Amino acid sequence: MAATASPSTSHKLADHSADRRMLMLVAAAFIVGTGGAFGAWGLLKLIALATNLFWFGRLSVAPSQIVDSMVGLAVIVIPIAGSLIIGLMARFGSDKIRGHGIPEAIEAVLYGESRLSLKVALLKPLSSAISIGSGGPFGAEGPIIMTGGAIGSLFAQCFHLSAAERKTLLVAGAAAGMTAIFGTPVAAVLLAVEVLLFEWKPRSFVPVVVAALVSLAWRPLLIGNGALFPFEAFALSGWSGMAIAAGIGLMVGLEAVLLSNLLYWIEDLFHRLPVHWMWWPALGAIIVGIGGLIDAHVLGAGYQSIQALLDGSLATRVMLALFLVKGMVWLVALGSGTSGGVLAPLLILGGACASLIGLAFGISPGFCAMLGMAGVLSGAMRAPLMGAMFAAELTGHYDSLPASLAASIAAYAVSVLIMRRSILTEKISRRGRHIMQEYSVDAFDFLQANHIMTPQPQTLPGSASVAETVDFFGRKAEHRSYPVVDAEGRLLGLVSRSDALRWQVSEQTKETPLADLISDASQPSATPDAPIGIVADLMVETGIGRIPIVDPASQRVIGILSRHDLLKARRIGIETERHRSR
């Protein structure tokens, strides 16, 4: 049976790649979404338990605030103790628990076939709980993205799914975990699309949304209902409102660039230390403890600080101290390689910066804080839609979504123009791996064979003898294979140099015509309207590097498409980007 792209190929193709296995992934997403929700609940309980043990000396999972503890100078010792435990866990458990989780999830998706281990699924939330509970200036979102992703990956591995399907469930688990922590399903899905999935396909998008919604349904029973940080503020609108929002976005975009550069500068300093990386978190914790002495509000996740910024209840001095001290301890702690997240600290730092701008210009500091939170997430993580929607869902201020979008896109523009990589991808780049975060339609999916084929190719007649064919390949052939046609130019098959060599050493009658030898052979071919991706697939499946292009009506050979021709698609893409019409 001939391998071929059948006549009138284009009208038979779908504009997506979904099949019935998507339904299986949707069913799995219900389980993964539930796992992500319970994983988030467990992580919050672990953080509460660690906080109570470290700061109050009691065995309890009741919510507590570090600022309410009375430990004196022990505020320096406690973060060091927690960081020593994390260093030991990373050294003798798994070094994948180091860092803030999202780069590790990206790396697993792109380079690890979306496989995360049970060890990581257990150690990451435990180490993060110890880090945050002992005063680490982090939030729970990075760890739960890694933990939720591990739940999805492990589930997929249990059922021996493909790497692409494992990726879908890994990201579904990550989105479910983020939704459970923050109650932001749309932002979680947008984070998946903008940062984690690296594709836009029904097979991946639908299960991710299902997992996020399932997690949201569990949230009132496990964690709570409603917006996490509701506040009262007026919404700016019109030209002036958009201008103010964009201006704040520009400022926090610069802040995002500064924070990202400082983070990796500090990380480089730790790499120069003449001690094993296991001890780096403890050294960084010294700065965390000193910061806690200056202002205890900088310790822990700091969710109460986010609420205070949105409420506009912080004095200018306190806001400035929070901005400077929180920034210092977060950068040093994360640069030391301890376990923690980036979202909550970025919310605080972006919110504090924007609030100070608002106070300086007589604008509602709470509303400015919300815009700053949207902008700094967008600028640092290169996720502008997620940043805007996250701020709206987090506060319940959906009427402020246009202003949040203005701030978010302004920060994003500043970031991409100044900074080569995001705070997430820079981590991966330093491991020798470059990642592009841009989406575009693959030229293989829309260019057709007739766009890049070589027309009127040289063919061999079916009446040619074996002797003539062997002589042709020995003296004249420029390619490895050629189409064989009948007297009317219709395709009979392909003959290759290896065929000629085989015939040369065999006892095959030298006068036997080619038509008799290849009549039962596979005849890979494509029609002029076939997407070149289908032709490339034919090359992979058959191992043949030159595919004849035939007229669908007459079956006459009108062209040939080679592996070299496929590079023309790349050239067309380059010309589209660079050529300017006159």
Tens of pLDDT, residue by residue over 229-244, are: 888 766 677 788 899 9
Distance between CA atoms of 204 and 14, rounded to whole angstroms? 17
Q: Please, what are the domains in the chain?
A: 21-222 (1.10.3080.10), 238-429 (1.10.3080.10), 443-574 (3.10.580.10)
Distance between CA atoms of 377 and 252, rounded to whole angstroms? 9
What percentage of the chain's residues is helix, strand, coil (to nearest 5)? Answer: 65, 5, 30
Q: Which amino acid is at 433?
A: R
Closest Cα to residue 37, out of 166, 179, 150, 227? 179
The whole model's pTM is what? 0.86
Q: In the β-sheet with 546-550, what is the strand arrangement from edge to edge?
A: 454-455, 557-562, 546-550
**Mean pLDDT across the chain:** 87
Structure confidence at residue 363 (pLDDT):
86
Distance between CA atoms of 378 and 12, rounded to whole angstroms? 40
Report residue 1's pLDDT band, with 50, 70 and 90 as the boundaries: very low
Q: What does the pLDDT average to over 494-498?
A: 85
* Percent of the chain clearing pLDDT 70 (strictly above): 95
Q: What does the pLDDT average to over 243-255?
A: 94
Structure confidence at residue 7 (pLDDT):
46
- Residue 41 half-sphere exposure, CB side, CA atoms within 13 Å? 15
Flag whether pLDDT at 135 surpasses 80.
yes
Q: What is the DSSP letter of 497?
A: H
481-485 and 460-461 beta bridge pairing: parallel
Pull the structure tokens for residue 474. Answer: 């020995």
Q: Are 546 and 480 in contact (CB under 8 A)?
A: yes
Q: What does the pLDDT average to over 399-421?
A: 93
Q: What does the pLDDT average to over 91-109?
A: 82
Structure confidence at residue 519 (pLDDT):
57
